[in-house]
Amino acid sequence: MVRVRFAPSPTGHLHIGGARTALFNWLFARHHRGVFILRIEDTDRSRSTEEFIHSILEGLRWLGLDWDEGPYRQTERLELYQSYVQRLLKEGRAYHCYCSAQELEARRRQALAEGRPPRYDGRCRDLQEPPRGAPPPSVRFKMPQAGQTHVQDLIRGPVVFENTQLDDFIILRSDGTPTYNFVVVVDDVDMGITHVIRGDDHLNNTPKQVHIYRALGVEPPRFAHLPMILGPDKTRLSKRHGATSVVAYRDMGYLPQAMVNYLARLGWSHGDQEVFTVRELIQYFDLKDVGKSAAVFNPEKLLWLNAQHLRSTPLSELRELVWPFLLRQGTVKEGQRLNAAWLERAIGSLLERSRTLLELAQSLHYYIAEDIEPQEEARKKFLHQESLPYLKDVLKGLEALEDFRQARIEEVFKEVVQRHGVKLAKVAQPVRVAVTGGTVSPGIFEVLEILGRQKTLRRLRRAIELI
């Protein structure tokens, strides 16, 4: 059975790169009806925080990436790591190193000055007993000193590492805490991981980990190293390219299914299809379709995809999703209720012009609010003496309507247009500014019907007073 894991370090929020790694693991597990494990690699106690753990879990839940096992925390598994260290020491696969941090740093600088790679020189490798007055030792793993390490990567193909370039690395620090390259292997062995799908920034760790697997008598899992994600300027994705935290996109009004769709397409493809449901992604996902070159993050493409998913979401669901944004911007109050059918109709009229839940909430404001204030620029351009007769005639015609529906509203506008001998826009645009506060909205007849007789008349009277 396929068993994969997502193993973030809680030193920050769940970012775009980490979310894509989690998604590819999750899709691979779901496609193969396998197991998706969540593991928190929190051995770096100086940088790991409970806040970041909570944020990572929150981001995964928002994306819908449910895990089958975990979350396991490495800080709760220290005894297990200690037992494996003792086993490697007993079998001669590891040794105590008594070199101090100051000595190691001095040798590193000397190697760099002499043009040599700054590798550990192995001086403690064959010690029979500790030096007199030696400090508490660390434990190093014995790497092979000749030959090559071959990795058949499922994305990159064959990768070869020269063992002479790899040094004996520390697996247990002198303070008794284990290191990343060691604990990750112990966890993978203990959890029966069959495939390691991760970013290619971990590729250089792979030969070290391969030899630990083999020292523990276990065949390494299959590796798949995902190419990095670049910003639009082709440099590594960072905060300067905009929000990189997944929860930040949630707060900006993006839908989780749109974000999942976009993340899946960052480096993976299925023909020319762009818009996918989660069900389709699970059905089609295969590592052979992951590209070898870096993916470029395109905010405009994400926004376009979000608009597509927004329009395919049922209105009843959008009504629930947009409500927190309406609360946040003060359009509605806690405990307030609106007619569900009316709100869904208002939402439906705005979908073609909304790309996020935030934009949708901002547009809904003029439907829901009791009063609105026209935007300054729009007011100056359209609410003036020239438009005053049009507004008065529209108001008079609408006041006389008993049936306040689109067809009858349109008749009123046609009469005003004919009376004044102008085009519809000359009449419609001042009315639009008067009732919505801006120059862009759905068709004015639809807007007025949804807005309703009372609000429409009150806002037209207010605009006339302003002029």
- What is the greatest pairwise CA distance in the chain? 107
Structure tokens at 446: 């639809």
CA pair distance 202, 187, nearest whole angstrom: 16
Phi, then psi, of 383 in degrees rounded to 5? -105, 85
Predicted confidence at residue 243, as pLDDT, reads 66
**Going along 67-134, which residue ranges are E strands?**
69-73, 94-97
Among 282, 256, 258, residue whose Cα is nearest residue 270: 282
Q: How many CB atoms lie within 10 A of CB 265?
A: 21
Mean pLDDT of successive 10-residue stretches along the chain, which has 467 residues: 96 93 98 98 81 95 98 95 97 95 88 86 89 90 95 96 93 93 97 97 95 96 96 83 85 97 96 96 97 93 97 97 97 95 97 97 96 94 96 97 95 97 96 96 97 96 95
Predicted confidence at residue 232, as pLDDT, reads 87
Q: How many CA atoms lie within 13 A of 424 on its CB side?
A: 9
Predicted confidence at residue 128, as pLDDT, reads 85
Active site residues: 239
Predicted confidence at residue 391, as pLDDT, reads 97
Predicted confidence at residue 293, as pLDDT, reads 93
**Residue type for position 111:** A
Quick one: how far is CA 259 from the chain centroid?
6
